[in-house]
Amino acid sequence: MKLVPVLIASVLAATAAQAADPLPSWNDGAAKQSIVAFVGKVTAEGTPDFVPPAERIATFDNDGTLWAEQPMYFQLLFALDQVRLLASQHPEWRDQEPYASLLKGDVKGALAGGEKSLAEIMMATHAGTTTEEFAGRVSGWIAAAKHPKTGKLYTAMVYQPMLELLAYLRANGFKNFVVSGGGIEFMRPWAEAVYGIPPEQVIGSSIKTKFEMRGGTPVLLRLPELNFFDDKEGKPVGIQQHIGRRPVAAFGNSDGDLQMLQWTAAGSGPRLCLYVRHDDAAREWAYDRESSVGRLDKGLDEAKARGWTVVSMKGDWKAIYPEP
């Protein structure tokens, strides 16, 4: 056998294998196998495990599951940036906490007031506009703001293996939903471009809105009042409210996703419940049971007890972020 044809053949074979692999950034292992086995089952027509396409509902947490969430939730970084941007319209903030500390560059001091300071910053930066004005603010920020540690755009800090998973499920007839504790209108302006998930498939926390006529033109005004908190017990509630059927697959990374995974697991037929575990301090961050952001404690115990899939970012993922 001549060398060149053998080399060509082996390159071609490798290329074909790669082209055929819908999850190229996943190392071969138990996590990847559980995903591929599940999709194979539910799409096998004529078998008892077959799930009709209309019922192939998959729900994904966002922070820590589809994109990073350190050193704090990206939506909070957006809020802090908005305070700086809006400060000129609010001269009173110069002497008023938590804004005063924040405007002096003291983020820690600004957040020292805990939940109350946080809620105040969130409402000051998320309410008081129309829905369209707010979407514009989010779009402007997400297109330009850079992460303090990586220097990347936030949309470049989505997880490449999860993008492949979203595409793989979609190609197999699944309808993917985001189900996040984050703000529904903070995610919608970019979720379609980044995740291929349209606005009507984004579920999240929300503030109340009010329909109002402004000079003959109807607007939806964003009010400084919580409407729905889509976390923990709220996730199955939000899923029922928006989707009206139980998911067959659910993906999370923290205790905030536990009830969503429990609700998904409790349906009949094949199920895929998966936790992403942040154990890669070199390429991303490593945190779990003790973390204030994205704590994974009870969820990890339950995953082990029930045999859910636990993904090691360090061991299961060849890449973390998409290639620039």
Bridge pairing between strands 217-228 and 202-214: antiparallel
Residues between 139 and 178 with contacts to a second copy, criterion CB under 8 A: 175
Enclosing H/E stretch for 134: helix 131-144
**72 touches a second copy by CB under 8 A:** no
Q: What angle do CA 302, 57, 244 make, to 5 degrees?
A: 95
**225 touches a second copy by CB under 8 A:** no
Q: In angstroms, give the least distance from the CB of 236 to a second copy.
A: 5
Query: Of 61, 69, 185, 231, which one interacts with a second copy (CB under 8 A)?
Result: 185
Query: Of 8, 233, 281, 304, which one interacts with a second copy (CB under 8 A)?
Result: 233
Query: Of 210, 298, 306, 318, which one interacts with a second copy (CB under 8 A)?
Result: 210
Query: Of 29, 140, 148, 199, which one interacts with a second copy (CB under 8 A)?
Result: 199
**252 touches a second copy by CB under 8 A:** no
Residue 314: partners with Cβ closer than 8 Å, 6 or more residues away: 279, 280, 282, 283
Q: How far apart are the first and last CA of the chain?
A: 41
**200 touches a second copy by CB under 8 A:** yes
**36 touches a second copy by CB under 8 A:** no
Q: In angstroms, give the least distance from the CB of 213 to a second copy.
A: 8
Residue closer to a second copy by CB (options 23, 243) is 243
**244 touches a second copy by CB under 8 A:** yes
Query: Of 206, 253, 254, 309, which one interacts with a second copy (CB under 8 A)?
Result: 206
Q: In angstroms, give the least distance from the CB of 38 to a second copy.
A: 20
**70 touches a second copy by CB under 8 A:** no
Which two tokens mark 91? 């001269």
Q: By CB under 8 A, how many residues form the interface with a second copy?
A: 35
Residue closer to a second copy by CB (options 106, 301) is 301
Query: Of 259, 272, 274, 299, which one interacts with a second copy (CB under 8 A)?
Result: 259
3-state SS track over 55-76: HCEEEECCECCCECCCCCCHHH
Whether 31 and 148 have beta carbons less than 8 Å apart is answered as no
What Å distances lie between residue 143 and 43, 78, 147, 193, CA to CA? 38, 12, 12, 12
Residue closer to a second copy by CB (options 93, 263) is 263
Q: What angle do CA 259, 264, 266 make, to 5 degrees?
A: 95
Question: How many whole angstroms separate alpha carbon 216 and alpha carbon 212?
Answer: 9
**180 touches a second copy by CB under 8 A:** no
Q: In angstroms, give the least distance from the CB of 198 to a second copy.
A: 6
3 state DSSP class of 258:
helix
Whether 271 and 249 have beta carbons less than 8 Å apart is answered as yes
Enclosing H/E stretch for 131: helix 131-144
Contacts with a second copy by CB under 8 A lie at: 54, 57, 131, 175, 184-185, 188, 192, 198-202, 206, 209-211, 217-218, 220, 227, 233-234, 236-237, 240-245, 259, 262-263, 266
